[in-house]
Structure 1
Amino acid sequence: MDDLRLDRRGGLPPHLRVLAARYPRGMWTGHPNFSGLTSFWLDRHLMFRGLQARLEREAASFLDGDNDGRAFGRAVQRLGGTFVSQLHGHHQIEDLHYFPMLAAKEPRLQAAFDLLDADHHAIDPMLHALAGDADALLAALAAGQPAGLAAGAFHDRLRGFARLLDRHLADEEEIVVPVILEHGDRGLG
């Protein structure tokens, strides 16, 4: 199981891709069980990827001298707050509602849902660290202090987190969507 830790894995092992092999990504949207709920859920994942990338671009722009501190601070507050709170809430809903219901529909993938839950527990301290870096950055900006070091730490944290977030979201999609395609979304909404 240690090889399946979020920071070590390069994808899902074959025994957790049982349904993903049957339902490859390219056929998802055309499947009769692809619903509005599934589309909404995938759009949330797209939003998280977009917010992370936007924050990274904003930090890089500030570090390059292309963005003033006030505009950068507003972007970090607005985008960063949305990113952290929405991702945390999304994971709570999945852990408490969707994953147990989906695992009940497809018991042979219980280990896959346990893996996703473990990912959420691994991501939580990363979100706290990211929020801490953002707070330090915002404090430096508000005090009129040089913020290059704090912005660099924030940017580095975002870049490191991006790979792990994308790995988690991609794996989650390859577990959840095929279960919905196989069994439908009845009872999930």
Structure 2
Amino acid sequence: MSDLNLQTRDGLPEALRVLLEAFPREVWEGHENFGQLVRFWLDRHMMFREMTRRMLADTEGFIDGTAEFERYAPRLSRLGGSFLNQLHGHHQIEDMHYFPQLVGIDARIERGFDMLETDHQLIDPMLNRFADKANVLLTADTSDGRRDGAGAFHEELTGFAGLLERHLTDEEDIIVPVILKSGFDG
């Protein structure tokens, strides 16, 4: 299972790419089974990517002095809270609703669903660290404390964003081909 570890993998193992090879990304949107569910799923993933990019850019602006704390803090609070709630809810729906329905469609990639659920379990404590670092930053009462907090938050978010990108990409490369193959519509 070491080739499935989110913290060390650099893509899907070859054995889990079988459906992706049959349904490569460049044919997804033109496929007859590319419907509202797939579009919604991909849009949610794009939203998570954009939220992380925005939080990183905003934090960099605060660190380099181009954004004032009074504007940065409320935005981070809103965006960070929404990010945490949305991502946690998204993973719960996947784990409890979609994955159990999709897992049996092609036995060759069943291990991929275990990998994705393990990713979700690994991401949960990362979300807790994200929240903790953001809260330290947002509650700091000195400019030095805020700058230190922003640096620690930026470091945490940078590492998390990379792992989240790996997870989202791998999840798309497993789920979308399954849906295209089966016509599953939720």
The normalised TM-score by structure 2 is: 0.97
Equivalent residue number for residue 83 of structure 2: 83
Unaligned runs of 5+ in 1: none
Are 1:71 and 2:71 an aligned pair? yes
Are 1:178 and 2:142 an aligned pair? no
Residue 180 of structure 1, CA deviation: 0.3
Distance 1:73 1:18 in 2: 45
Equivalent residue number for residue 122 of structure 2: 122
Q: State whether residues 3 and 13 of structure 2, in contact with CA within 8 Å, keep that contact through their aligned partners in structure 1.
A: no
Are 1:154 and 2:149 an aligned pair? no
Equivalent residue number for residue 46 of structure 2: 46
Residue 108 of structure 1, CA deviation: 2.8
Equivalent residue number for residue 110 of structure 1: 110
The secondary structure found in structure 2 opposite 1:171 is: helix
AA aligned to 1:24 is: P
Distance 1:104 1:4 in 2: 19
Distance 1:3 1:32 in 2: 33
AA aligned to 1:155 is: H
Distance 1:145 1:20 in 2: 49
The secondary structure found in structure 1 opposite 2:58 is: helix
- How many pairs are equivalent? 185
Structure 1 vs Structure 2 CA RMSD: 1.0
Residue 145 of structure 1, CA deviation: 4.6
AA aligned to 1:163 is: G
AA aligned to 1:9 is: R
Residue 11 of structure 1, CA deviation: 0.4
Residue 3 of structure 1, CA deviation: 2.8
Q: State whether residues 35 and 185 of structure 1, in contact with CA within 8 Å, keep that contact through their aligned partners in structure 2.
A: no
The secondary structure found in structure 2 opposite 1:105 is: coil
AA aligned to 1:165 is: L
The normalised TM-score by structure 1 is: 0.95
Q: Once structures 1 and 2 are overlaid, which stretch shifts more, 104-113 or 162-171? A: 104-113
Distance 1:145 1:25 in 2: 46
AA aligned to 1:18 is: V
Residue 58 of structure 1, CA deviation: 0.4
The share of aligned pairs that are identical, in percent, is: 50
Q: Once structures 1 and 2 are overlaid, which stretch shifts more, 65-74 or 103-112? A: 103-112
Distance 1:75 1:68 in 2: 11
